[in-house]
Structure 1
Amino acid sequence: MSLKQRIIVGALTGALGIAGAVVTWFEGRSLVTYLDPVGIPTICDGITSGVQLGQAATEAECDALLAEELGKAMGAVDRLAVHEQPDTRRAALASFVYNVGAGAFARSTLLRLLNAGDAAGACAELSRWVYAGGKQLSGLVKRRATERELCEVGL
């Protein structure tokens, strides 16, 4: 199933479903730990919190971790954004927060612009977040382009 098809299916369940489609598409799933491009131990769908090399997980454990972490990311978006956002923008921002963390989002120019009512400027900021470990990563360029496209729906 293509990313576009996944997003359409995810839209049936709202922002969380859309965000889940984006996250799983770009993160991929590994049942054993691996080092991400900057050397952080990672498992399942990009989970890093508390992960150590040598760990393994089941599909069910990965599903539970994804739901928990995606819920936290969506919660951070809803808590930190002062204006109500459409589902597509909430989904894009939740995918972003899932990837960079709530702290980075809280300190970002993106959030400052969003809270100032400049949704277009906030969405444009996503394109700047394509570096990890000081290097531009093609996977992040593609992910941010998708997140930006979702963020800009309706502008």
Structure 2
Amino acid sequence: MRRTKAATMSVSALIVGMIALHEGYRGEAYDDGVGVQTIGFGSTAGVKRGDRTDPVRAVQRLAADATRVSQAVARCVGEVPLYQHEFDAYVSLTYNIGVNAFCGSTLVKRLRSTPPGYAEACREILRWNKAGGRIQKGLVRRREAEYALCVGTAQGG
């Protein structure tokens, strides 16, 4: 297995499923706990209080959102080659924390260093375990799963 440039990679079915499992499904818009209206499998763009969706539309939106996030991850990472499992872990993280947070993170700085700090970048995932300034058990579990995927020890990773 070889690392390839992130620009040539696309979101995998594995990570879309993993995101869906971590996010869970909600058919009606809800506050995510930090004031962001969310619907379906964690979609936030354009969501307003009272919005509704169904599982089919939610999966379609998740796939589109994950594709958009994967393109942003590729832009932020630049020319740094990655394994698919590393890329998938970064897409899952970015889907949850947002593109701006990911692109401005120490994780990306570690990846873009010379030589790339792959192990250090994967470890940075574990730091993103807070919402509203407090550690959240659900985020701790998600970050541990993303970290395992990133370092290649996850099942299927």
TM-score, normalised to structure 2's length? 0.85
Contact 1:15/1:88 (8 A) holds in 2: no
Match of 2:117 in 1: 118
Mean CA deviation greater in 111-120 or 72-81:
72-81
Higher helix share: 1
Structure 1 residue runs of 4 or more that deviate by more than 4 Å after TM superposition: none
What is aligned with 1:145? 144
1:13-69 CA distance string (max 9 Å, x none)? x85212112201110011111111223211000111111111101222112210111
**Between 14-23 and 51-60, the greater mean CA deviation after superposition:** 14-23
Aligned match of 2:70: 74
User: Is 1:131 matched up with 2:127?
Assistant: no
Query: Larger relative CO (CA 8 A, sep 6+): 1 or 2?
Result: 2
**Is the Cα–Cα contact under 8 Å of residues 11 and 67 in structure 2 kept in the other structure?**
no
AA aligned to 1:145 is E
Query: Which residue of structure 2 lines up, in the alignment, with residue 106 of structure 1?
Result: 103
Moved more, 17-26 or 85-94: 17-26
What amino acid sits opposite 2:135 in the alignment?
Q
Change (3 A) 1:105 1:77: same
Aligned partner of 2:24 in structure 1 is 28
Corresponding residue number in structure 2 for 1:90: 87
Q: Is the 8 A contact 2:11 2:66 kept in 1?
A: no
Structure 2 counterpart of 1:41: 37
8 Å contact from structure 1 (residues 92, 150) kept in 2? yes
The corresponding residue for 2:49 is: 53
Structure 2: distance between partners of 1:84 and 1:17? 20
Structure-2 separation of matches of 1:134 and 1:100 = 13
Distance 1:15 1:47, change over 3 A: closer
3-state secondary structure, aligned to 1:92: helix
The one-letter amino acid paired with 1:48 is: T
Greater mean alpha carbon deviation, residues 99-108 or residues 36-45: 36-45
Aligned twin of 1:7: none
The separation in 1 between residues aligned to 2:34 and 2:76, in whole angstroms, is 27
- The number of residues matched between the two structures is 141
The RMSD of aligned alpha carbons is 1.4
